[in-house]
Homo-oligomer: A and B are copies of this chain.
Amino acid sequence: MSQYKAPLRDMQFVLFDVLDAEAQFQRMGFDDASRDVLEAVLEEGARFTETVLAPLNEIGDRVGCSHDKATGTVTTPPGFKQAYAQYVDGGWAGLTSPPEFGGQGLPHAAGVPLKEMIDAANLAWGNFPLLSHGATEALIQHGEDWQREVFLKPLVEGRWTGTMCLTEPHCGTDLGLLKTRAVPNDDGSYDITGTKIFITAGDHDFTDNIIHLVLARLPDAPAGSKGISLFVVPKIRVAPDGTVGEANGVRVGSIEHKMGIHGSATCVLNFDGAQGYLVGQANKGLMAMFTMMNTARLAVGLQGLGLSDRALQNALAYSRERLQMRALSGAKFPDKAADPIIVHPDVRRMLLTCKSLVEGGRLMGYHAALLVDIAHHSPDADERKQADALVGFMTPIVKACLTEWGVECTYHALQCYGGHGYIAEHGIEQLARDARITTLYEGTTGIQALDLLGRKVMQLQGAGLQVFLGMIETFCQEHTGNAAVAEFIAPLRDKAGEWQRLTMQVGQRAVANPDEVGAAAYDYLMYSGYVALAYWWARSVAASENSTQPEGFKAGKRETARFYFARILPRTLGHAAAMESGAASLMALDAERFDT
């Protein structure tokens, strides 16, 4: 079984030494978010996730969820329900929700380390509370007063959970095709009818009620994506006065058998005249849903991060214990039968790759969360606007890169185990299977790439990129003459310049041929992620040198940054060359000629 220990020291380093989170929160008016409070949250979160959630990860995978066709009910793995009760009792559900609905009102970024811990400890379990946040946000932003009154408190307290019901059998990415219908009733409610698939946490035995946020079409709706409305549809009917009634017309058709996250119920939900209420404006549902999706995408990025960290922790422990072969430069532990495999350069390559992607990725992910707070709560309107542009730009990068790196890190970690990694009992292959969903749901990597290049760069004229390039330049200027980071400044500046050039280049090409956007998108996305990480690594070194961290910690940051610049950042060369080669080699081949 794989182990998990929350990386508290690095989380604190990221929050306090690099991002200066306490001061940031204070100036945004989060008076309760002092360092003491945040550290207490981290420590309690670590205790809960390490001792309650992590031990359930393996049984969740082995037993999975089950669906009783006769009653339509879903049963979660042993221990999951009890763990959820502890989560609710501990007040974790509403950590960052508004106090007026029973939340604790901490900033968004203060909830992110807890999120990472949950994902690392037990990704499948974490999917149950995760979707409540999306539902909560949709109702806060778009719900009517009575809807907020009735639904939000139980959601925030965790007494009910939420879902997002978008996908249908024939459409996922292309929601404009969706068919679920909403027919108005005289009492202001709607009858919702249709089939939704891939509904994460679509049913379970944790709570008495589940609040589905459902996309559907009104009878007079325009075709395509401009005719989609958002509805709130409880599993058990809830009247506008809050009275809880009978079972609603929504039933679990089946649950999916999946590659991983077996402990998470992925449901087919059949809505058959289920009673629902319109949320926000008619035909504006897709926009409302996209608001939720941005937060959900950052959250899925954290899933990739959490799994990467857990995989690394276990691979590291194994690599220190497993004795096999002697170091090429001579025995390092001559008293042992062989050297631990961590002496071998290639094992170090895999571990350092994970370490550089995990620690750099943590900064990138936490910073994006801080931007969400700044975009909403900064007292400075200009800063809010810049943060909003930057978080829009970073969201697809965080989502796609942290999940792609999740796949990569679980791959390396498993590889460190050799054949033992393939055996279920070590628990590492579960992490690899679980990680595989993260590059798919909430928009595949390809969709993130199009969002980044097509929307955030082309449509929005690269506003977010310019903010980020400004941050890089500011950093480089501020640290001219700082010996601790001198070696990183020139390569970072070079890459920033190249990033800008490549962006211009693809923009010019896209004017002539729109396929150039799709052709460059993936490589542009990964390129951006690697340059962003170079910036965060340089900042990590600067911040650690400037901190009261022990010398060993500083050395860890310094050497990992060097490794990153020497061995990971050069991946940008291949991505740049692929982008520069243009769309021709992708588009030339007739679809009929792909067969061998």
Contact = CB atoms under 8 A, between A and B. Distances in A.
Interface of A: 7, 9-10, 167, 170-174, 177, 198, 256-260, 309, 312-313, 316, 320, 323-325, 327-329, 337-338, 340, 342-352, 355, 358-359, 407, 411, 414-415, 418-419, 421-425, 429, 432-433, 436-437, 439-441, 444-446, 449-450, 454, 513-515, 517-519, 521-522, 552-553, 555-556, 559-560, 562-563, 566-567, 570-574, 577-578, 581-596
Contact of A559 (B347, B441, B592, B593): B593
Contacts of A589: 348, 352, 555-556, 559-560, 563
A421 B440 contact: yes
A440 B423 contact: no
B436 A429 contact: yes
A378 B519 CA distance: 47
A358 B596 contact: yes
A519 B349 contact: yes
B346 A423 contact: no
Tell me how many chains of this kind the complex includes: 2
A323 B352 CA distance: 41
Contacts of A583: 345
Chain A contact residues, majority secondary structure: helix
B570 A349 contact: no
Contacts of A418: 172-173, 440, 444
A388 to B, nearest CB: 26
Nearest to A554: B593
Given A329-B513, A419-B172, A570 B566 contact: no
A422 B355 contact: no
Contacts of A348: 586-587, 589
Contacts of A449: 346
A225 to B, nearest CB: 10
Given A177-B337, A358-B596, A436 B414 contact: yes
A506 to B, nearest CB: 12
A14 to B, nearest CB: 10
